[in-house]
Copies of this chain bind each other. A is one copy, B any other.
């Protein structure tokens, strides 16, 4: 969807390492935004995206001892190409040609964004058919998307291999890269790391041998609740409030919540928080796009790998 950051570039690098020709699709797909969601305000940075991809491509081509491929095509279709008959419909009944992968599409992120994964699956089916790629690359950051795409490929017998690339994170604190991070000024940016910290705490519990849902997730909730209370105690000019949408411990294929982690299957720890608009802005404060007046939803996840005994 454009607004490229290091996470996207790592997908391209991984694809170039494993294939001769890389297709990069840039398309802000309207059907994955709800009627009231942020389609219009989604960051569009076409010129910068092209520049970044050209730079990356030069790097790829100049690499010595090169077995790598390079970007062959940037595919940036019009909506008339992607939705050639009826205009794309973002409403829930949805009058259009759609792929729907349920119940996966209705869980986790799908609960608050009921049309999102229908839009994702639909546009990916179209892209896969147009490009007929040997392999497709998705980022681990959107874990539910990776599970849904794998399910779609399997259920519809698509002739492609789904490759998942690890989440790129900010160097300093590990915040997952996201096109939406540009909306976070300094203050919200610092508090936004709470989600990853919470998931890391739960992961540590798992590594220490905890398996039951409560004993793993209590560590995540402790981190989130402590940060929330800390913010509440600060004044409006200091604090950045947030709401936890969910913290999930789910099966890696069905995404159903698990009561305890089956070591043979592992699990996905994931969560979503909403960074609320700043209540009061200080003079000279470093603000994000939109002056930190837009609520920003952040998601992240950690895979608890299965243990092979």
Contacts and interface: CB of A to CB of B under 8 A. Distances in A.
Interface string A87-127: 00000011111111111000000000000000000000110
A99 to B, nearest CB: 6
Size class of the contact patch on chain A: 20 to 34
Contact of A154 (B85, B96, B103, B125): B85
Interface of A: 83-86, 93-103, 125-126, 129-130, 132, 151-152, 154-159
Contact of A155 (B85, B102, B159): B85
Given A84-B154, A97-B155, 17 more contacts: A85-B154, A85-B155, A86-B155, A93-B102, A94-B102, A95-B102, A95-B103, A96-B102, A97-B101, A97-B151, A97-B152, A97-B156, A126-B156, A129-B156, A129-B157, A130-B157, A132-B159
Contacts of A97: 99-102, 151-152, 155-156
Nearest to A160: B129
Contacts of A83: 155
Contacts of A159: 129, 132
